[in-house]
Structure 1
Amino acid sequence: MVQFTQTLAAVLLATGVVAHPGGNTNREILRRQAHLDHPNRRSVQECKRDLVESGWVREQHLRREARLHELRVAAGFAKEHEIVRRDPAEVEENYGAEAACTLDPEATEGPYWVTGELIRQDLLTGEKGAITHLDINVIDTSGCKPVTDAYVELWGCNSTGVYTGVQAKGNGDGSATAIKTNALRGLQATGSNGTAAFITVIPGHYVGRANHLHTIIHHGAKLLPNNTIQGGTISHVGQFYIEQKFLGEVEKTPPYSTNTQKQTLNAQDALFNMGKQGGDDPVMKISLIGKTIADGLYATIDIGVNPRAKQNPQPVNMWTAEGGKPVPNSPWTGYPDTCKYCGFRPPKEKKGVDVEGETEVLG
């Protein structure tokens, strides 16, 4: 698998594929390859026995079934006594190998990460689209237990491919119209079962990337009085995707259908292809709450992390009461034309350095 992945990485690097309009994914491909090659890397699949024997897999399956049923009852599509259950033994048998259930690829924060976001479950802030109730489970793959003391950060573009809190060429029309809002951005703490819950939308598409959500996992951060966090470490930087056939149905609905930007399919996205390597699956499992996409969605995904790892993603802006403000000396400033990470090419001599269980590619 490693040899195949390195071959794939070489091909992708040679093509200079774009990440966002005007950028490319060379730096991100190298980061993912380093993660796959790390000798201490463990996936969620390797924790299957422990998670099943501890009862966690069964407990999470029952909880997720109950949550989907709760959403259906609240929306008027089911009655409380009509819950439909799947055999937990079947779920335990397939755990870690079934599509859309595990994720541990290290990816990129991208040029539109805004630090200082609020702790909140509902990220909509007036945005329209395929409303999605998303449950993210965080698993410590070094000890095969749920992570109960982390903050999960989540963000993505809106249904027409625009990120809030930033202004950049290629982000919508490049105007400052979205910089004053923090829609579709926020954090949640993991509970006793390792779960963080959000309400967001299926992200739209923009030139150069398949539809995706971003996530960062924070450990040891301090909760501030203004409902944000400070300090701690970051163990994981990742991206979630949507199954292509289902995404095609979402894209037919408004306001997605009004987006005139060229769409990149999953199979055409370099980071999606790298994310599928090493036994990982970065695709969310999604269920309809009602009869149509417009009735709402329930999505789940599990993330495997090493809490001792230390990643160093770089924000372009910081969220303030006045909107997104530039972070001094951010390597993403000026994206996609003049930033430090623009047009990145792999270093010729420098090699990765091991930082508490993870490899960070130097550039």
Structure 2
Amino acid sequence: MVQLSQALTTVLLATSVVAHPGGNTNREILRRQAHLDHPNRRSVQSCKRNLVESGWVREQHQRREARLHELRVAAGFAKEHELVRRDPAEVEETYGVEAACTLDPESTEGPYWVVGELIRQDLLTGETGAITHLDVNIIDTSSCMPVTDAYVEMWGSNATGVYTGVMAKGNGDGSDTAVKTNALRGLQPTGANGTATFITVIPGHYVGRTNHLHTIIHHGAKLLPNNTIQGGTISHVGQFYIEQDFMGQVEKTSPYNTNKQAITTNAADALFNMAKQGDDDPIMKISLIGKTIEDGLYATIDVGVNPKAKQTPQPVNMWTSDGGIPVPDSPWAGYPDSCKYCGSKPPRKEKKDVLAEE
């Protein structure tokens, strides 16, 4: 698998595919390759026996079934007594095949990360699209236990491929209309089962990237009175994706079908192809709540992390009551024309961070 990923890395680096409008994925590809080559890398699959024997896999499967049924009942598509369950033994047999994992950075934070976001479950803030109830399970791959004391940060573009909280050339029309809102951004703590829950939308596409959600996993952060977090460490920087055929169906619905930007498919996205290496699967499992996409979606994904790993992603803006304001000396400032991260080589100071682990 390492030989295959190294060969793919060479091909992807040669193509110099853009990560975001005006950007370059070479830096991100190299960081992902370092993750795949790390001698201590462990995946959720390596914890399968522990998670099955402890009963966690069965418990989570049954909880997710109940949650989807609850959503269907609330939306009027099912009766309370109509819950149908899948054989737990079958679930335990196949567990670990569809789970992202990380020791080193799995992907890039990208040029649109905004720090200081609020702790909240509902991220919509007026945005429309394929409304998605998302459960993210965090698993410690060093102990094979759920991570119960982390904060999961989530953000993505809206249905027409625009990020809020930032203003940048190539982000929509490049105007400041989105910088005043924090829609589709926020954090949630993991509960006793290692789960963080969000309400968001399936992200729209934009030039150079397939549809994806961003996530960062925080450990040891302090909850502030203004409902944000401060301090602690970051173990994981990742991206979640959508199965291509299903995404094609989403793109036919409103307002996705008003997005005039060029579509990049999963197969043509360099970061998606790297994310699929090493037995990882960063694709969310998505179920319809009703009969159509417009009726709402329920999505789940398991993410393996090493809480001792320390990553140093860099934000471009900070969220305030006045909207997103620039972070001083951010290497993403000026994106995509003059930022320090726009080139094909990572900054010198980043080299030690790629393999950082304690």
TM-score normalised per structure 2:
0.97
Aligned counterparts, 1:160-309, within 5 A: 160-309=160-309
Please say if residues 99 and 304 of structure 2, whose CA atoms lie closer than 8 Å, have aligned partners that are also in contact: no
**Aligned length in residues:** 355
SS at match of 1:191: coil
Distance 1:13 1:331 in 2: 21
Q: Which residue of 2 aligns with 1:59?
A: 59
Please say if residues 217 and 236 of structure 1, whose CA atoms lie closer than 8 Å, have aligned partners that are also in contact: yes
Distance 1:297 1:225 in 2: 33
Q: Which residue of 1 aligns with 2:81?
A: 81
1:112 paired to 2:120: no
Distance 1:264 1:143, change over 3 A: same
Distance 1:36 1:352 in 2: 16
Please say if residues 44 and 99 of structure 2, whose CA atoms lie closer than 8 Å, have aligned partners that are also in contact: no
Please say if residues 340 and 347 of structure 2, whose CA atoms lie closer than 8 Å, have aligned partners that are also in contact: no
Distance 1:110 1:131 in 2: 24
Q: Which residue of 2 aligns with 1:153?
A: 153
Distance 1:237 1:246 in 2: 25
Deviation of 1:84 after TM superposition, in Å, equals 0.9
Q: Which residue of 2 aligns with 1:360?
A: none
Deviation of 1:15 after TM superposition, in Å, equals 1.1
Q: Which residue of 1 aligns with 2:324?
A: 324
Q: Deviations over 1:150-187 (max 9, x none)?
A: 00000000000000000000000000000000000000
Please say if residues 72 and 290 of structure 1, whose CA atoms lie closer than 8 Å, have aligned partners that are also in contact: yes
Distance 1:94 1:178 in 2: 42
Please say if residues 103 and 301 of structure 1, whose CA atoms lie closer than 8 Å, have aligned partners that are also in contact: no
SS at match of 2:119: coil
Distance 2:189 2:109 in 1: 19
Q: Deviations over 1:192-249 (max 9, x none)?
A: 0000000000000000000000000000000000000000000000000000000000
Supply the RMSD in Å over aligned alpha carbons. Answer: 1.4
Please say if residues 48 and 95 of structure 2, whose CA atoms lie closer than 8 Å, have aligned partners that are also in contact: yes
Distance 1:171 1:347 in 2: 24
Aligned counterparts, 1:12-161, within 5 A: 12-97=12-97, 100-104=98-102, 106-161=106-161
Please say if residues 34 and 352 of structure 1, whose CA atoms lie closer than 8 Å, have aligned partners that are also in contact: no
Q: Deviations over 1:306-355 (max 9, x none)?
A: 0000000000000000000000000000000000011233689x965642
Deviation of 1:11 after TM superposition, in Å, equals 1.0
Please say if residues 101 and 285 of structure 1, whose CA atoms lie closer than 8 Å, have aligned partners that are also in contact: no
SS at match of 2:273: helix
Please say if residues 101 and 300 of structure 1, whose CA atoms lie closer than 8 Å, have aligned partners that are also in contact: no
